[in-house]
Amino acid sequence: MKTVVLIISIVFSFCSIAQKAGKFKDKRDGKVYPTVKIGEQTWLAENLNAATFRNGDPIPEAKTLEEWDKAGLNQQPAWCYYDFRKIQDDPVNGSKYGKLYNWYAVIDSRGLAPEGWSVSTDDDWTVLSNAVGGKEKAGLWLKSNSGWDNSMGNANGYDKYGFCAVPAGIVEQIGSSNFAFKGHRGEFWTTSPSKEISGTNLKYSISYRFQSHVINGVDDWLHRDAESNDRSDGRSVRCVKD
């Protein structure tokens, strides 16, 4: 009898998880994204990889760091792959990690997200974090179960909900742009601004960060960053169903 109950429980659990998963086809390019329902939200379970806005206009691709810097300085949208200086890495990184976008692409009025979806907000990430037990657990539960740098021990997550946060790295704007943190961080823009520093070109917006390790050991928190992420940085994007 116990065996029967156990089998029924396993099947029920499997079906419950399976019902949360789905697929979405972006009509802009025909790309099919996995989706996952967590709590009351449905998310793309893969980083956005679109090269056009919702209205069909192309999103400018930065092919050099100078082009990336110029787009940020002029507050113009741009995307790139990590690391486009290594041409052979472009297709691999694009299919695995999606594109990195600056914040000006994220908030462009032509729409970065597919029709029926929105680029996630600060509130969306708060709801997601709460749904999986809070920021202290969210990193471990939402990180992919492979691909993270394990040089200081196992840094992979459990991917309990199928969100599959991957360590795509960023284009970091510190004086001039450079690539950083692939394998160590997955950082995601929100559409939510944070602050602008008067008399300077420093303008920040809110993003969320998963990471592998810190000096004092494993860090599985989901971090909310509001004052250290320049809008010219390149970060990943996740979308939420409207």
Q: DSSP letters of 49-98?
A: --SB-TTSPBPPBP-SHHHHHHHHHTT---EE-TTTTSGGGHHHHHHHH-
Q: Give the mean model confidence (pLDDT) for residues 154-168.
A: 93
- Tokens 């972006």, located at residue: 26
- The confidence score (pLDDT) of residue 201 equals 62
> Within its chain, how far is the Cα of 101 from the centroid?
10
Give tens-digit pLDDT for 117-134.
999 999 999 999 999 999
Q: Are 59 and 77 in contact (CB under 8 A)?
A: yes
Which residues are within 8 A (CB) of 115 and not within 5 positions of it... i.e. 6 or more apart?
27, 54
CA distance 60 to 185: 25
- The confidence score (pLDDT) of residue 21 equals 87
Q: Are 34 and 166 in contact (CB under 8 A)?
A: no
Q: pLDDT band for 169, please (50, 70, 90 cuts).
A: very high
pLDDT of 219 over the 60 cut: yes
Q: Write phi, then psi, for 129 (nearest 5 degrees).
A: -60, -45
Q: Give the mean model confidence (pLDDT) for residues 3-22.
A: 43
215 three-state secondary structure = coil
pTM greater than the 0.75 cutoff: yes
CA distance 25 to 19: 18
- The confidence score (pLDDT) of residue 64 equals 87
- The confidence score (pLDDT) of residue 236 equals 98
Share of the chain above pLDDT 70, in %: 82
Half-sphere exposure of residue 132: CA atoms within 13 angstroms, side-chain side: 26
Q: pLDDT band for 6, please (50, 70, 90 cuts).
A: very low
- The confidence score (pLDDT) of residue 87 equals 57
Tell which wins on pLDDT, 97 or 19: 97
Q: pLDDT band for 89, please (50, 70, 90 cuts).
A: low
CA distance 72 to 201: 10
Half-sphere exposure of residue 175: CA atoms within 13 angstroms, side-chain side: 0
Tell which wins on pLDDT, 30 or 228: 30
Q: Give the mean model confidence (pLDDT) for residues 135-159.
A: 89
**Judging by beta carbons within 10 Å of its beta carbon (0-12, 13-18, 19+), is residue 135 exposed, middle or buried?**
middle
CA distance 179 to 196: 24
Q: Give the mean model confidence (pLDDT) for residues 212-234.
A: 78
Lowest mean pLDDT across 87-96, 127-136, 185-194: 87-96
Report the chain's mean pLDDT, rounded to a whole number.
85
Q: Are 145 and 159 in contact (CB under 8 A)?
A: yes
pLDDT of 199 over the 80 cut: no
pLDDT of 106 over the 60 cut: yes
- Among the ranges 40-54, 64-78, 148-162, which has the highest mean pLDDT value? 40-54
